[in-house]
Structure 1
């Protein structure tokens, strides 16, 4: 941390805590007490009213406030909740940066705005929609991929093409050039150029079983723009199911990535999905037991029969 950044950080600390000892500031910024003395002297010379109390510490003159920008309570909540999302959904490094950003935002809020923001924020909570293990797996993949994107380094990945680790999983080994990360349908996707397919492909982070960042670098294809790219939808297999009346709301709440529509009929709920392969929805369907009947395609009905027979042999 350079001197300018450290001096600004000292002001933020004094605004946030009211009183700080030189020893505490030195420990926090990993410098000497003498350096803190010089920083405080420089702040005073620059017109910042720092008050020193022997044996107690430093504080700012009452009424002095130096916000880099003024936030309303709603704006502060938006930033703080956004930082919560980053901490929850990105890797450990960005999670730590998000926490530090929250501390800085809270430090520059006036007392009334701080109290109002805390009141509003207490009514908002973000939850992990997915299994914690899956989320942790994605977080483990995010940091190396994010760095590979930044430094334009190719990546060697072991990729599973099916939804679950089952006997029907198909694994492949690819060399890819990572272009960008997209968060959609509660899942992280990697947009990358696949050397084997000679085309841009999308990879779910939860299906990347292992990865190695390579020394070789790449150049992004001319004209590629992650924010304007239109994703080609190759989910051509239509699946229709009927769920019992009592299961309708639960199905809707799952937010299945492949679900296209859900509508009531006389016997329950008709639900339509579009997938690339029936394996992508097989295990999810089995989890509903007798509450669901697959209407089409016949290939999925047959696979379910086979799975049920295998289950009967176990029990």
Structure 2
């Protein structure tokens, strides 16, 4: 390693060597016999130069994804982060791991039982645009099991813990969502497909409140009392949301979404602090649900 080229000065070479040693801990020594040389013939320049801060951010991202998306990606994440960490001094890497493990803790809600093999097959099917056959359990119909063929458009992890595959359902002849952890069996079929050119993933997701994809987009207005309103103001619940403030501290949240069942369940979570104003059919759904709930709280034992 000598500055023999007339286009490269000795000062430039020395600066480059110092950079390699300081930034990448390159095992470079100098001697009269060999000049500048690597003491470790197996050492290679990292293909992805990362700072300590960048590697820490990746480590946190891995912890977060593992916490919220489950253990499906855990082995791959740990392997990738470990390889990237090889360029850091061992003690610095141990310090980063300790900080990530003990000072920043991510906790998800209820865990799902995700079959990693099914998830991987869906990833491959999305990438290769291959149709799949599946046996699916529908929780809202008393765990009824059905068989379907699906053109999987994309995978979507909602709120970090709910894994969905979104695609064209040949049984229903429309774009539908399916919880991946409710797929009991999956086969990749030889048929290929093309994604509907009118399907825009971002626009599709923007019209859904949580994960109910059926129906046409409709405006929903919900009133929240003054005690509940601060909890509504502090978040952006939907891309279409508009908040109307009232003089008494209450507010009205306006959103445009497709499914009403998810909205109903969400509003019920705020108890008497929330009231649906429109559309009329959602108001009726709320009344019916509240009446049926009240019957469950009579003095008689169930």
Fold in common (TM above 0.5): yes
- Secondary structure of 2:73's aligned partner: helix
- Secondary structure of 2:292's aligned partner: helix
Q: Which structure 2 residue ranges, 5 or more long, are not aligned? A: 1-37, 208-214, 298-302
Q: Which residue of 2 aligns with 1:48?
A: 40
CA distance in 2, matches of 1:222, 1:126: 36
Q: Which residue of 2 aligns with 1:158?
A: 136
CA distance in 2, matches of 1:103, 1:285: 44
Q: Which residue of 2 aligns with 1:243?
A: 224
Normalising by the residue count of structure 2, what TM-score does the alignment of the two structures yield? 0.62
The yes-or-no answer on 1:299 pairing with 2:281 is yes
Bigger mean CA offset, 231-240 vs 253-262 = 253-262
Q: Which residue of 2 aligns with 1:216?
A: 189
Q: Which residue of 2 aligns with 1:132?
A: 110
CA distance in 2, matches of 1:242, 1:309: 20
- Comparing both structures, which one devotes a greater share of its residues to helix? 1
Structure-2 change in CA distance of 1:231 and 1:105 (3 Å) = same
Aligned pairs, how many?
247
Per-residue CA deviations over 1:188-213 (Å, capped at 9, x if unaligned) read 442323223555x241526x633421
CA distance in 1, matches of 2:116, 2:63: 15
Q: How does 1:3-42 map to 2 (within 5 A)?
A: none
The yes-or-no answer on 1:146 pairing with 2:135 is no
- Secondary structure of 2:88's aligned partner: coil
Q: Is the 8 A contact 2:68 2:107 kept in 1?
A: no
The equivalent position to 1:282 in structure 2, one of 264, 269, 275, is: 264
CA distance in 2, matches of 1:263, 1:69: 49
Q: Which residue of 1 aligns with 2:80?
A: 101
Per-residue CA deviations over 1:230-252 (Å, capped at 9, x if unaligned) read 54446522211111222123335
CA distance in 1, matches of 2:240, 2:117: 28
Q: Is the 8 A contact 2:72 2:116 kept in 1?
A: no
The equivalent position to 1:174 in structure 2, one of 127, 148, 159, is: 148
The equivalent position to 1:192 in structure 2, one of 167, 175, 180, is: 167
CA distance in 1, matches of 2:191, 2:119: 19
Q: Which residue of 2 aligns with 1:313?
A: 295
Structure-2 change in CA distance of 1:138 and 1:313 (3 Å) = farther
Q: Is the 8 A contact 1:73 1:116 kept in 2?
A: no
Q: Is the 8 A contact 1:175 1:195 kept in 2?
A: yes
The yes-or-no answer on 1:272 pairing with 2:264 is no
Normalising by the residue count of structure 1, what TM-score does the alignment of the two structures yield? 0.60
What is the deviation of 1:49?
7.1
CA distance in 1, matches of 2:117, 2:246: 43
Q: Is the 8 A contact 2:151 2:168 kept in 1?
A: yes
Q: Is the 8 A contact 1:237 1:274 kept in 2?
A: yes
Q: Which structure 1 residue ranges, 5 or more long, are not aligned? A: 1-45, 51-63
Q: Is the 8 A contact 2:152 2:167 kept in 1?
A: yes
Q: Which residue of 1 aligns with 2:4?
A: none
CA distance in 2, matches of 1:245, 1:278: 24
- Secondary structure of 1:290's aligned partner: helix
CA distance in 2, matches of 1:175, 1:276: 24
Q: Is the 8 A contact 1:177 1:194 kept in 2?
A: yes
What is the deviation of 1:153?
5.0
Structure-2 change in CA distance of 1:221 and 1:148 (3 Å) = closer
